[in-house]
Amino acid sequence: MTDLPTALDLPMVDPLPEATQRYFDICDEKLGFVPNVLRAHAFDIDKLNAFTALYNDLMLAPSGLSKLEREMVAVVVSATNRCHYCLVAHGAAVRQLSGDPLLGEALVTNWRVADVDARVRAMLGFAEKITLASATIEETDRQALRDHGLSDRDIWDLANVAAFFNMSNRVASATAMQPNAAYHGQAR
């Protein structure tokens, strides 16, 4: 693919290093495409590797938060930031992981109307507060999460997922990153 995934003229390294090409091939095999966020970072393989290492650790490594819960946090942060790329991509992931297109749409438009349990609702409220006013978080906010069954490690993971997507949203928005068209039709 020769078109750039962002508004910046930063073409992918060509040819890609062998390990990067293998990673992109795995994405293509599993998803049917290479996500544009990866293509966008591929102008600098060290930046791509740093991005994917952190993403994979936060979103895929073992955690007290399920993969679906982490994706829901990604969507709520992205909705709060109005990040088109991440709403499309992670909205699709929520639909796919939950098997519920209505949940994905509710989280994208207004997470407060989503049919989620009290634990998830507390997590999403915390993620939104991190996004809007992280300096106002107090012990009562963390205790409310503990009261819903989150461990301190879970709170750490939640804070890191929310913070990662705040960073990613800002980069995606600032560079006019475009979501892959395939995301739009997934799990509908």
pLDDT average, residue stretch 8-17:
96
* Predicted confidence band of residue 83 (pLDDT cuts 50, 70, 90): very high
pLDDT average, residue stretch 39-57:
98
CB 163 within 8 A of CB 130: yes
Helices (H), 67-117: 67-81, 84-98, 101-110
- pTM for the model stands at 0.95
* Predicted confidence band of residue 81 (pLDDT cuts 50, 70, 90): very high
pLDDT average, residue stretch 126-150:
98
Lowest mean pLDDT, pick from 1-5, 33-37, 87-91, 145-149:
1-5
CB 54 within 8 A of CB 46: no
Q: How far apart are CA 94 and CA 78, in angstroms?
A: 13
Cα distances (angstroms) measured from residue 83 to each of 76, 154, 158, 176: 10, 25, 19, 9
Instruction: State percent of the chain over pLDDT 70.
Output: 99
Q: Chain-wide mean pLDDT for the chain?
A: 96
Instruction: For the chain, count helices (H), then strands (E).
Output: 10, 0
**Residue 49 predicted with pLDDT over 50:** yes
Q: Which domains does the chain have, with CATH numbers?
A: 18-60 (1.20.5.810), 67-185 (1.20.1290.10)
Cα distances (angstroms) measured from residue 114 to each of 107, 146, 151: 6, 22, 24
* Predicted confidence band of residue 163 (pLDDT cuts 50, 70, 90): very high
CB 57 within 8 A of CB 9: no
